[in-house]
């Protein structure tokens, strides 16, 4: 399987200028490819990918308006054409139903004011030197902080500059599966806001609420930004300070999710979660708390690590009434408002904690589907 290994990069002032030039050229080529495809669609003319690349790069370099494209590595420009082609293909596949998941909109033009700028290079555009530096064509050797060793020779690298003016090198590497020793335990997880997760085993994971804890410093930084004159250098500096606060929150949340997901995968042979519609829930009045929780990122980490370490990961349908079913007798007691955290089953009289009962039901439903897929004759209790 392919994974991304990301490292911090510290380019010199001259290399930052060269990278800024490459970012601009890649952005222009990408936008030119989109315009060529849009014009071809509007005039009902078929145009091949090779012809688009020839017009956007080869012929453009011969014109006075685009002669500066020859000053950067051509491999980055070619990858920009490939990115534009993939964006259009994803859009058409989403319209036709071939692409699963959320519907993808039409690709938009890139702007020099975008918070994130990046270029992608294949093997003929970069080299990892023996001295530990990353050589990028027509940029030079970049100083990389190697936090861990690359497991294999990378097939491509993406140089990224984020909103806080930090630079990263993201390598695509091929890694093999690393099965963990099998265990006898499996668990169901109910995700929430007050308590981030309740496991069917009874363990609870408190919600860290990183954004809520950083609201004070974030509010002061944003207030200072609003007082700066638009277009001034002080406003540009303050914008970077605000971006650094947001980056700190995102890094803390991602690190915490990695640690929690790794612990769960190591301790359990199978993990089951509810298939939540995070996109729809984030449009409610609880949007801020839902985004701060990072449910989608956490479940994606569980799924990826389960595939890598030989564990089973399953999702229970989002319409399964895990909070309405008694985990003891299987009686459905009807929907309940979120304010009810404990309830008593009318059939058997057992008092349930809402989240723990839901986690037990998710575990039962996921385990039944898992064993049934393996050939067992298992049915849900309700």
Which of 132, 168, 116, 148 is CA-nearest to residue 7? 168
Active site residue 190: yes
Of the listed 32, 83, 186, 355, which one is catalytic? 355
Strand 134-136 to strand 126-128: parallel, antiparallel, or no bridges (unpaired)? antiparallel
φ/ψ bin of 148: left (φ > 0), alpha (ψ from -120 to 50), beta (otherwise): beta
Active site residue 304: no
Of the listed 274, 292, 342, 369, which one is catalytic? 274
Handedness of CA 225, 232, 246, 288 (dihedral sign): positive
- What b/e readout covers 76-108, taking b as 16+ CB neighbours within 10 angstroms? bbbbbbebbbebbeebeebeeeeeeeeeeeebe
Q: How far apart are CA 341 and CA 79, in angstroms?
A: 52
Of the listed 32, 83, 190, 292, which one is catalytic? 190
φ/ψ bin of 141: left (φ > 0), alpha (ψ from -120 to 50), beta (otherwise): beta
368 alpha carbon, distance to own chain's centre = 30
Active site residue 114: no
Distances (CA, A) of 236 to 69, 244, 245, 246: 28, 13, 15, 16
* Dihedral angle computed from the Cα positions of residues 175, 177, 178 and 182, in that order, rounded to the nearest 10 degrees: 170
Q: How far apart are CA 218 and CA 226, in angstroms?
A: 12
Q: How far apart are CA 240 and CA 234, in angstroms?
A: 10
Length of the chain: 382
The catalytic residues are: 190, 274, 355
């Amino acid at each position: 399987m392919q994974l991304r290994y990301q490292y911090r990069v510290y380019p010199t002032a001259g290399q930052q200028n060269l990278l800024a030039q490459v970012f601009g050229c890649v952005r222009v080529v990408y936008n030119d490819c989109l315009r060529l495809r849009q014009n071809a669609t509007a005039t009902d003319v078929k145009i091949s990918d090779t012809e688009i690349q020839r017009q956007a790069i080869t012929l453009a370099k011969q014109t006075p308006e685009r002669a500066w494209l020859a000053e950067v590595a051509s491999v980055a420009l070619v990858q920009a054409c490939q990115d534009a082609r993939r964006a259009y293909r994803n859009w058409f596949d989403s319209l036709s139903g071939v692409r699963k998941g959320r519907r993808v909109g039409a690709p938009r033009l890139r702007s020099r004011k975008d918070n994130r700028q990046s270029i992608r290079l294949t093997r003929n555009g970069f080299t990892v030197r023996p001295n530990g530096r990353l050589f990028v064509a027509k940029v030079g050797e970049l100083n990389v902080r190697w936090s861990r060793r690359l497991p294999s020779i990378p097939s491509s690298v993406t140089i990224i500059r984020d909103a806080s003016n930090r630079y990263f090198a993201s390598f695509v590497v091929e890694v093999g599966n690393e099965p963990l020793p099998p265990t006898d335990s499996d668990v169901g997880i109910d995700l929430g806001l007050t308590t981030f997760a309740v496991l069917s085993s009874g363990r609870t994971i408190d919600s860290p609420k990183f954004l809520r804890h950083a609201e004070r410093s974030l509010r002061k930084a944003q207030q200072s930004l609003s007082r700066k004159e638009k277009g001034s250098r002080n406003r540009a500096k303050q914008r970077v300070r605000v971006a650094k606060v947001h980056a700190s929150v995102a890094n803390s949340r991602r690190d915490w999710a990695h640690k929690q997901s790794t612990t769960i995968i190591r301790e359990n042979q199978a993990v089951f979660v509810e298939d939540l519609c995070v996109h729809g829930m984030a449009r409610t009045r609880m949007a801020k708390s839902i985004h701060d929780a990072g449910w989608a990122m956490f479940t994606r980490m569980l799924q990826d690590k389960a595939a890598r370490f030989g564990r089973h990961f399953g999702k229970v349908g989002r319409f399964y009434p895990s909070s309405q079913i008694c985990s003891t007798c299987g009686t459905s007691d009807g929907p309940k408002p979120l304010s009810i955290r404990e309830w008593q089953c009318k059939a058997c009289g057992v008092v349930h904690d809402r989240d723990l009962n839901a986690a037990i039901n998710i575990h039962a439903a996921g385990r039944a589907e898992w064993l049934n897929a393996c050939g067992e004759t298992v049915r849900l209790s309700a």
